[in-house]
Amino acid sequence: MNITRNNVDALNAVVTVEISKADYAPQVDRILNNHLKNASIPGFRKGAVPMSLIKKQYGKAVLLEEVNKVLQENLSKFIASQKLDLLGNPVPVQKEINWDEEDFTFEFELGIAPEFTVDLDAKNDVVYYKITADDKMLNDQVERIQKQYGKLISKETVEEGFDLTGTFTNEEKGINSPANISLDIFKDKKTAKKFIGKKVGDVVTVNTKGLFDDDHKLMDYLKVDHDDVHGLEVDVDFTIEEINDTELAELNQELFDKLFGEGKVTSVEQVKEKIKEDAENQFKSQADQKFLNDVTASLLKTTKFDLPASFLKKWIQTVGETPLTPEQAEEEYARSENGLRYQLIEGRVLAQNNLQITFEDLKAYTSEVIKKQMAQFGQMDPTEADVEGIVARVLSNQEEVKRLSDQVMSEKMLNLFKEKINAKTKEVSYEQFIKEMYGE
């Protein structure tokens, strides 16, 4: 057995594996002898079949299988011993093999991961958004609570301030979206006036262009995809199914106790403080996700390195259940290149900063997840023994361990980026954040 490596360049190499008869013959002979002992061929006693017949019937298949075993085992050992950081798997160089010979030579192309560093301190244009709940949002939420706990009064005719239940439809665009609306959602007062005086069963037609103060609301009310909302200009019918007025609930201690527990909140100002705290905690996860997305885009833009593109396209042709054509592999490479680049960048960030997950990290994170889930079901103060028991059961499931490990690592990466990335902090309302999120 002789294995050699020829470096074509920094990213490509060819490994040549030379296999002699001595490398595979003992295994082939052993298997053929087993066939000989058990062979049942008409005209011969069991165990008395000539070896020539056994070789004729099984020899080539056994040879191919055993040579391949020797080849794969020694190729893997060689790659490990050379400490090669490969992209994809070795791709065999296609050539005709004469299986009637005793010695064989195989060649494999290798794609080698590039050497590079990731500079998290480099200049960038990343912004971390601190999303605040502004007065308008807090006042709207208080009124929403008053409506939610208020008294619903059915009405026959639409008047200003009433709530409507109905369905938006447009057959051509496939819109069929049930919705609860109030007339103040519309940007233009003329649109709202179309509904005044209407009754249950009436149909009001409105145009989507400029229907709301933010086109993204078309996603909420009409269930239109984000890519379709901008510039959408079609008529939609709203069929009125219910007309209701709401007698707002009084902002008193009885309502406060119902919302937050007895005596925990005693004024409207404290209600707003609670709403603000809860809202901004929820906004933080959205801000963190955008920050991660923006850091990812920045690192892809600023971290430069070459890839063994030709090799990877050959490898892509071979990895699926069905081989791809060169054209299909080209398209797949174009789709997956940024994902591969970021995997390499992420791996380098982990190595440079020695980021690792310990079992204690995993247990602590799982424990916090369990406590939050229990709180949602009213178990606000579970015992440590109860939590530990659930954690043990969760971590006995390998799929859950993988999912939670990914979440822990994502959190570690986020914290590292917050520490290392010199990002600007920008305070915005939620509405402003949505506009920033979609680049408008």
**What is the model's pLDDT at position 42?**
72
Q: Do the strands 151-154 and 235-247 form a parallel or antiparallel pair, or are they unpaired?
A: antiparallel
Which residues is 169 bridged to in the sheet? 176, 237
- Is residue 135 situated within a structural domain? no
Could you tell me the two tokens for 314? 């050959």
Q: Name the helix (H) or strand (E) containing 14.
A: strand 12-19
Domain boundary pick from 57, 86, 111: 111
Q: Which domain CATH number covers 339?
A: 1.10.3120
Q: For 406-427, how does the pLDDT look when each residue is reduced to its tens digit (9 = 90+)? A: 999 999 999 999 999 999 999 9
Residue 161's domain comprises 151-247
**What is the model's pLDDT at position 425?**
95
Q: For residues 283 and 394, state if they share a domain.
A: yes
Q: In which residue are the tokens 């406060």 written?
A: 256
- Is residue 422 situated within a structural domain? yes
**What is the model's pLDDT at position 40?**
73
**What is the model's pLDDT at position 49?**
75
Using alpha carbons, select from 203, 209, 242, 245 the residue that is nearest to residue 228: 209
- Is residue 17 situated within a structural domain? yes
**What is the model's pLDDT at position 266?**
94
Percent of the chain with pLDDT over 70: 99
Q: For residues 424 and 279, state if they share a domain.
A: yes
Distance of alpha carbon 129 from alpha carbon 418, whole angstroms: 12
Domain boundary pick from 84, 111, 138: 111
Q: For residues 362 and 414, state if they share a domain.
A: yes
Identity of the residue numbered 191: T
Distance of alpha carbon 113 from alpha carbon 306, whole angstroms: 9
Domain count, the chain: 3
Please give the average per-residue pLDDT across 67-78, as a whole number: 95
Q: For 116-168, how does the pLDDT look when each residue is reduced to its tens digit (9 = 90+)? A: 999 999 888 999 999 999 999 999 999 989 988 999 999 999 999 899 999 99
- Is residue 118 situated within a structural domain? no
SS3 label, residue 248: coil
The alpha carbon of 416 is separated from its chain's Cα centroid by a whole number of angstroms, namely 20
pLDDT bin (cut points 50, 70, 90) of residue 261 is: confident
Q: Name the helix (H) or strand (E) containing 223.
A: none
Strand locations in 127-268, DSSP E? Answer: 127-132, 151-154, 163-170, 175-182, 203-207, 235-247
Q: For residues 12 and 54, state if they share a domain.
A: yes
Q: Which domain CATH number covers 74?
A: 3.30.70.1050
Please give the average per-residue pLDDT across 265-282, as a whole number: 94
- Is residue 18 situated within a structural domain? yes
Distance of alpha carbon 397 from alpha carbon 152, whole angstroms: 48
pLDDT bin (cut points 50, 70, 90) of residue 439 is: low
**Number of other residues whose CB lies within 10 A of the CB of residue 167:** 16
Q: What angle do CA 344, 345, 349 make, to 5 degrees?
A: 120
Which residues is 164 bridged to in the sheet? 181, 243
**What is the model's pLDDT at position 440?**
54
Q: For residues 425 and 322, state if they share a domain.
A: yes
Domain boundary pick from 247, 276, 306: 247
Q: For 197-227, how does the pLDDT look when each residue is reduced to its tens digit (9 = 90+)? A: 999 999 999 999 999 988 889 999 999 888 8
DSSP letter string, 303-364: ------HHHHHHHHHHHSSSPPPHHHHHHHHHHHHHHHHHHHHHHHHHHHTT----HHHHHH
Q: For 318-350, how does the pLDDT look when each residue is reduced to its tens digit (9 = 90+)? A: 988 889 999 999 999 999 999 999 999 999 999
Q: For residues 283 and 342, state if they share a domain.
A: yes
Q: What is the pTM of this model?
A: 0.72
Q: For 17-63, how does the pLDDT look when each residue is reduced to its tens digit (9 = 90+)? A: 999 999 999 999 999 888 877 777 776 766 677 888 878 888 899 99
pLDDT bin (cut points 50, 70, 90) of residue 438 is: confident
pLDDT bin (cut points 50, 70, 90) of residue 436 is: confident
Q: For residues 342 and 419, state if they share a domain.
A: yes
Mean pLDDT of the chain: 92
Distance of alpha carbon 151 from alpha carbon 135, whole angstroms: 25
pLDDT bin (cut points 50, 70, 90) of residue 383 is: confident
- Is residue 169 situated within a structural domain? yes
Q: For residues 334 and 235, state if they share a domain.
A: no
- Burial string for 112-125 (b: 16+ CB within 10 Å, else e) reads bbbeeebebeeebe
Q: In which residue are the tokens 């619903």 written?
A: 152
